[in-house]
Amino acid sequence: LLLLLYILQGFPIGLSGTFPIILQSRKMVTYEEQALFSIVLWPYTVKVLFAPLVDSLYIQRIGRRKSWLLPIQFLIGTILMYTSKNIDDWLPETGKPNLRMIICVVFTINVLSAIQDVVVDAWSLTIMKKNNVGYGATCNSSGLPIGMFIGSVGPILLVSKDFNNKYFRGTPSAGGLMTLQSFIHLWSIIFLLITIVIGIFKKEECNSLELDQKRISVFQNYKLLWNILKKPEIKLLAIALLTARFGFSATDGPSDLKLIDAGVSKDDIMITVTGMYALKFIIPIFLSKYISGPKCMDHYLTMTPIRLFWNITYMVLIYYTPSLINNNGNIEVPVYYYCLLALIFAVNEMLLFFMLLALYAFFCRLSDPCFGGTYMALFNTFYFLGWLIPNTLVLQMIDFLTFSTCSNDIKNSCLTPDLKNVCATNGGSCVVYVDGYYITVIICMVVGSIWYFMFRNRLKNYQLIRVMA
């Protein structure tokens, strides 16, 4: 059951990452609009604020966790069903998408999913017997990637006509195995059915620790959070976590979009992403024992300059992609390009996951055992913000630092899809003479290097003492 709940929890996160790729592949939006869309993930950055409410407010007769889980999942299923009925109007094959409506719906789903995240994490501590509690982390590390994989890969590969004709059909035909509308509708039914089954058949047992624990008010929970935030060590760590990923943000987020702009199909991107999910399932098995010691942050700091250097490989790949896959004006992706793309993605994914494992081990060492859940939620919130804020910022920077003009009309800057269409209608083409992506990557590498030398010794010292206790 716990694994299933974590799969459901990962699905909205994966779905949120699908829409930018679909929009970019159809040349519907600018990078500035992509930056606007990235706000749909912001609810996960404030989920720590939901925790006191989830812990304090519940109906005893229904169950402490079911009081929140049942209505939250029912609402997610209902909104997904509403989305499936309207997605073809909001996201047409041609023409301008209803970006505002898509953002509102996905943002709302993620607000509910963030609350569900808190509920499931809390329930994982009591849903199993005491000697099996450790399996909760296994369910989390396996279930979330599975849900994210389904939510991100499914809407692209299952819907793709080219992908399904190439790999699943003997005779080519129109359309994919599913439509985007039917895929979302299917998952709305899955959410609703699982919620009904849990509501009817799963009885939430009263845990002995919860019975002995004095019920803390919402105000007391928020006061505890405030007292933690006032600690000088927490303030310094918050600054480090909020800025830790800026050095890699230009390659982590926009690189897929730049590859699509260069001519690589979204199907090929998602096939590569599928392979990366396989790495996510395998890597923890082999690496976890090497990074759980007292010097876990040393591993993170060792990987940081290597990963900063790996940004250069992305720049080189994206720069040469148009010439590597173009054959007399036709897009033909050679096998060696797929191998090169997979290699660059795989190395980056291994470095990223190694650093994440080291960082989470570091969080565990710093946390006060008496309030471990609160500390871990705080640290994860800071780190997620440290990914989301730069991700939004670099998309805007790329748009701002990119300069282009129409080949037969120098007054047309080709800044928006409408201006690009005007240029194409008049027989011209948009020529980029300054690509903001490369400038942004260099800026991020400089900032990442400054971060490394500024926080390296401070973070190493944090390993020597339990400063947060």
- When comparing pLDDT for 10 and 220, which is higher? 10
Q: Are residues 218 and 300 in the same domain?
A: no
* 3-state SS class at 11: helix
Burial track 235-263 (b if 16+ CB lie within 10 A, e otherwise): eebbbbbbbbbbbbbbbbbbbbbbbbbbb
Query: Is residue 462 scored above 80 in pLDDT?
Result: no
Write the pLDDT tens digit of every residue in 209-264: 454 455 556 677 777 778 878 888 888 888 999 999 999 988 887 888 888 888 88
DSSP 342-355: HHHHHHHHHHHHHH
DSSP 280-340: HHHHHHHHHHHH-STTHHHHHHHHHHHHHHHHHHHHHHHHHHHHHHEETTEE---HHHHHH
Q: What is the mean pLDDT of the chain?
A: 79
Q: Are residues 70 and 195 in the same domain?
A: yes
Other CB atoms within 10 Å distance of the CB of residue 457: 10
Q: Average of pLDDT values for 401-423?
A: 81
Query: Is residue 344 scored above 70 in pLDDT?
Result: yes
* 3-state SS class at 225: helix
Q: Are residues 201 and 257 in the same domain?
A: no
Q: Are residues 445 and 329 in the same domain?
A: yes
Q: How far is CA 329 from CA 325, 354, 373, in A?
A: 9, 41, 56
Residue 134 has a pLDDT of: 47
Residue 25 has a pLDDT of: 72
Residue 209 has a pLDDT of: 47
Other CB atoms within 10 Å distance of the CB of residue 329: 5
Find out whether 21 and 260 touch, Cβ atoms under 8 Å.
yes
Query: Is residue 432 scored above 60 in pLDDT?
Result: yes
Q: Are residues 179 and 213 in the same domain?
A: yes
For 105-109, 350-354, 447-451, 463-467, which range has the lowest pLDDT when averaged over its residues?
A: 463-467
Q: Are residues 262 and 400 in the same domain?
A: yes
Find out whether 145 and 279 touch, Cβ atoms under 8 Å.
no
Q: Are residues 343 and 396 in the same domain?
A: yes
**Can you tell me the distance from the alpha carbon of 241 to that of 384, in angstroms, rounded to the nearest whole number?**
8
Helix, strand, coil percent values for the chain (each to nearest 5): 75, 5, 20
Could you tell me the pTM of the whole model?
Answer: 0.71
Q: Average of pLDDT values for 62-84?
A: 88
Residue 192 has a pLDDT of: 93
Q: Are residues 290 and 208 in the same domain?
A: no
Among the three residues 198, 224, 250, which one is the final residue of a domain in this structure?
A: 224
Q: Are residues 263 and 166 in the same domain?
A: no
- When comparing pLDDT for 205 and 462, which is higher? 462
Residue 386 has a pLDDT of: 87
Write the pLDDT tens digit of every residue in 130-162: 555 445 555 666 677 788 888 887 787 777 777
Q: Average of pLDDT values for 46-51?
A: 76
- When comparing pLDDT for 421 and 280, which is higher? 421
Q: Average of pLDDT values for 65-94?
A: 88
Residue 438 has a pLDDT of: 92
Write the pLDDT tens digit of every residue in 28-40: 677 777 777 878 8
Write the pLDDT tens digit of every residue in 287-306: 656 665 667 788 889 999 99
**Can you tell me the distance from the alpha carbon of 221 to that of 214, in angstroms, rounded to the nearest whole number?**
12
As given in the structure block, the two tokens for residue 432 are 């980029």
Burial track 355-389 (b if 16+ CB lie within 10 A, e otherwise): bbbbbbbbbebbbeeebeebbbbbbbbbbbbbbbb
Q: What are phi and psi of 435, to 5 degrees?
A: -95, 115
Residue 429 has a pLDDT of: 81
> 364: pLDDT confidence band, cut at 50, 70 and 90?
low
Q: Across the chain, which distance is largest between two alpha carbons, in Å?
A: 77
- Which of 217-226, 268-277, 333-342, 421-430 has the largest mean confidence? 333-342
Query: Is residue 447 scored above 90 in pLDDT?
Result: yes
Residue 107 has a pLDDT of: 93
Q: How far is CA 149 from CA 9, 17, 34, 60, 305, in A?
A: 12, 10, 21, 35, 29
**Can you tell me the distance from the alpha carbon of 310 to that of 13, in angstroms, rounded to the nearest whole number?**
26
Q: Are residues 45 and 113 in the same domain?
A: yes
Among the three residues 167, 200, 224, which one is the final residue of a domain in this structure?
A: 224
Residue 467 has a pLDDT of: 45
- What CATH number is attached to the domain comprising 382? 1.20.1250
Among the three residues 224, 239, 273, which one is the final residue of a domain in this structure?
A: 224
Residue numbers of the domain that contains 452? 231-469
Q: Are residues 176 and 243 in the same domain?
A: no
> 311: pLDDT confidence band, cut at 50, 70 and 90?
very high
Q: Are residues 129 and 201 in the same domain?
A: yes
Number of structural domains in the chain: 2
